[in-house]
Every structure is written in C-alpha cells, then in structure tokens.
Chain A
C-alpha cells in the first residue's frame, strides 16, 4: 500500500507530517482520514473552533506538565512540536516557514503514548 504523502500547508499538516515520519500515529479519527487532509485544511477554522485538533491528539496522546523534545504543543489556534522544555516550533502560514516560540502557560502539552 502506497503511503499517503502529506503536503505541508499549515501548522497541523506540518506537525502531522513530522510525527508520521517518526512515530506511529493514527491515520483516521472519527469520520476523518488522512486522505481527507485537503478537505480538512479547507475547513481549518471549523476544526480549530471545535477544538478538534485537541481531540485528535488526545486520542493517542496523554497530557503532560513539562515538555520534552517531540511533545505536541497545542494552543487555541495552532499546533506545534516541542523542541525542549523551553521552546516549540510551529509552522507559520504567513511566513511560509517554521518558526520557534516560547512555551508558556497557554500551551497544552501532550505526549504520544509509548512514543
């Protein structure tokens, strides 16, 4: 079976692609599958407003207090990956590249189960 190649177009697809290359993560969640990525991206705002991005990662991650490398960092409007305890990277759509930000109290940190 040919592996579906995720195109990096926003913060979610960037994180999904990064994690999918390194870890075993689910390719479907509720009625959504990885092949629907473009549809999902088109409905990005709905996805974020429903906090589906948190629900998706909660399905295979556990919430942790202190971040370490490759933990998932969730905010109200974005998804990123922890670099270390202090910072995380996130894909900035406006800049068209990844940037690093400081972890703060508003970040929800999740770790892949058995990851």
Chain B
C-alpha cells in the first residue's frame, strides 16, 4: 500500500476531498466467491460518485482516525454508516461480513469547471447536474490524486435500525500472535501450546 501523495491538484487550485468505500460482500465463509457475489460501493460525498467503472452510493459514513505506530500491533479502524435503510439492514444481517475485504480511498480533486448562464466558473458551482438525471460526480476525467487510506478486512460489525458499525483491521491482524486465537481455555492444552511455542516465534517459524 503506497501513501505517496502526488501534487496534481495542489497548484493554486481549489480542492475538494471525498472518500470512497468498498465492502466486498462476495466471499463465503470458506473464502470462495459466493453465488450472490457483489461489492458494495459507498461514498461520504453528498451525491453519487462514479469513477468510470463503479458508481458509489452517497451515505452518511464516518470513520475513525487511523492510529498507527511502530509497534508490531495491528491497526484497526471503526466505520459507522448512518441512515441505514431496509436494504442495507437486510444485507448486513443476511451476509457474512467478517473477513471480507474493505477499502477506503481518499480522492483529492479539482472540481470540474462549469458554465452557467454564459459565465464560466473554473472550479464549478455544483457538480454534474442535469434536469434529466440524478446528480452524479464523474471523477474519471477530473484532475485528482487518489490514494488508499486503508485496506484490510472486516473484523466485526453490529447493525441496528439506525446505523451500521464495523471494525476494519489490516491484513496483518495475525502479525503479533504467536499462535492462532483459540475459543477454549488454552490452559487445558498446555502441551499443545508448548509445542506451538517451540516452533513458532512472532508469527514465523523459529529457526534458531
């Protein structure tokens, strides 16, 4: 994951920022792509956002500031989707969210220019709106910087009638675990744990 930020839209231009969210709901428990495979695309922008391929539905989404440090611990981030409707509730309850891929992308862009009543506005007034289609921002052709804020898997979630809250964790969530988490009392299996500890050290095979 690269966090290199280019300077495409920062040369005396007006900026706008939005976030794109991807929730891959297309995996079964065994990791294979399910029959009803799909990916949910959302944005925290106030209108639809299309990147030329996928259209992101505007929803009130907030997410925590990502806490990072140099310790070998797993980073997590909490995502909250408000104003949930019936369809999303159904999806949340009917699907297996956990361990599915999630991605948050930040898009910094220059609002496209617009002409209204003969006057040209370099940085636009409103987004691409027409009387015959719903408001939609097409970022495929605008000047922009796109970088991945967070990419990982969905760890836990809970849904209510009002909101959907989830915890995302990085793909390195097992990094600092000497052995897999167990659901039973490990004290009853000390010999097994000892055997694992003899060969596994900080997530890798102990060679010394």
Contacts and interface: CB of A to CB of B under 8 A. Distances in A.
B85 A98 contact: no
Given A83-B57, A87-B57, A105-B86, A8 B132 contact: yes
Main secondary structure on chain B at its contact with chain A?
A: mixed
Instruction: Kindly state the interface size class of chain A when it binds its partner.
Output: 20 to 34
Instruction: Kindly state the interface size class of chain B when it binds its partner.
Output: 20 to 34
Contact of B135 (A8, A18, A99): A99
A97 B57 contact: no
B129 interface: yes
Interface of A: 8, 14, 17-18, 66-67, 83-87, 89, 96-100, 102-105
Contacts of B139: none
Contact of B87 (A14, A17, A100, A103): A103
B59 interface: yes
A15 B132 CA distance: 9
28 contacts: A8-B131, A8-B132, A14-B132, A66-B87, A67-B87, A83-B55, A84-B57, A85-B87, A85-B88, A85-B91, A86-B85, A86-B88, A87-B58, A89-B133, A96-B131, A97-B130, A97-B131, A98-B130, A98-B133, A98-B134, A98-B135, A99-B134, A99-B135, A100-B48, A103-B86, A103-B87, A104-B85, A104-B86
